[in-house]
Structure 1
Amino acid sequence: MSSVSSLSSESVGQNVVVTQPAAKSLQPGQTVTIDSHYTGSQYFLSWYQQKPGEAPKLLIYRTSDRQSGISSRFSGSGAGNGIDFTLTISGVQAEDAAVYYCQSYHSINSQSD
């Protein structure tokens, strides 16, 4: 059984509060979703995975763009309202057991990198 944890985060001074579930336990092969909802202006979201003794690893940026080298089992999506976001891990494996963080941020430049 794998345990997937997620943490809430708060952006000080921005009046942005992100709420996420505390933890989820599941069997290998299942699909898990981690939902985030926050109050504030419209933002993008990044998702990070952190395993014990390791630095956080960027999985998803700009809400749904997968970082290079990250398995396609990880995907990010937004509801289109700028406040509801989901990280989906399909075909969960034991090595996916970790703490998952989300980070909200404002896009200052609307042009693509």
Structure 2
Amino acid sequence: YSSKNSNILFICFLFSDASGQVTVTQTPVQVTAPGQAVTVSCKTSPAMYNDGSDDILAWYQQKPGEAPKLLIYWANRRHSSLSTRFSGSGSRTDFTLTITGVQAEDAGDYYCQSAHNLNSKWLFTQCYTPVQK
């Protein structure tokens, strides 16, 4: 598995009218053999919104022609139907999606979605990393 170009960093910017700027950087997946682990990083600036106990960050997987599928919510909580091969970690500005024992059906686009509250305005961002066979 590899990204389309392992030298590219996927950077998304979301601007809000004079209330501030949010930058999210999602790194591509590194080349790995089936059965190995893959990690995808998502870095945000400023820090994520935290509701007092959890960072509001989610990970999604999307396959061609299908709707996005929720994998992880609140940074590290696995969706109930998700394989334990998927896990999320991190806090504040640095987050990671890890897939252990990568399988062919894991190919697809992986999105991190972040939530930020700047000057009482909500901003939501989304970036993706392609994972290919």
Deviates more, 1:52-61 or 1:7-16: 7-16
Distance 1:70 1:91 in 2: 14
Q: Does the alignment pair 1:52 with 2:64?
A: yes
- Structure 1 residues 57, 106: closer, same or farther in 2, change over 3 A? same
Structure 2 stretches of 5 or more lacking a match? Answer: 50-55, 118-133
Q: Cα RMSD over matched residues?
A: 2.3
Work out the CA distance in 2 between the residues paired with 1:96 and 1:8: 23
Shift of 1:36: 1.0
> What residue is the counterpart of 2:105 in the other structure?
95
TM-score when normalising by structure 2: 0.68
Percent identity, aligned pairs only? 53
TM-score where L is the length of structure 1:
0.79
For residues 30 and 50 of structure 1, the distance between their equivalents in structure 2, rounded to whole angstroms, comes to 21
Residue 107 of structure 2 aligns with an amino acid whose one-letter code is A
With over 3 angstroms needed to count, the CA separation of the structure-2 counterparts of 1:8 and 1:58, relative to structure 1, is farther
Compare CA radii of gyration and give the structure with the larger one.
2
The CA distance in 1 between the partners of 2:23 and 2:116, in whole Å, is: 14
In the superposition, relative to structure 1, how do residues 65 and 11 fare at CA in structure 2: closer, same or farther (>3 Å)? farther
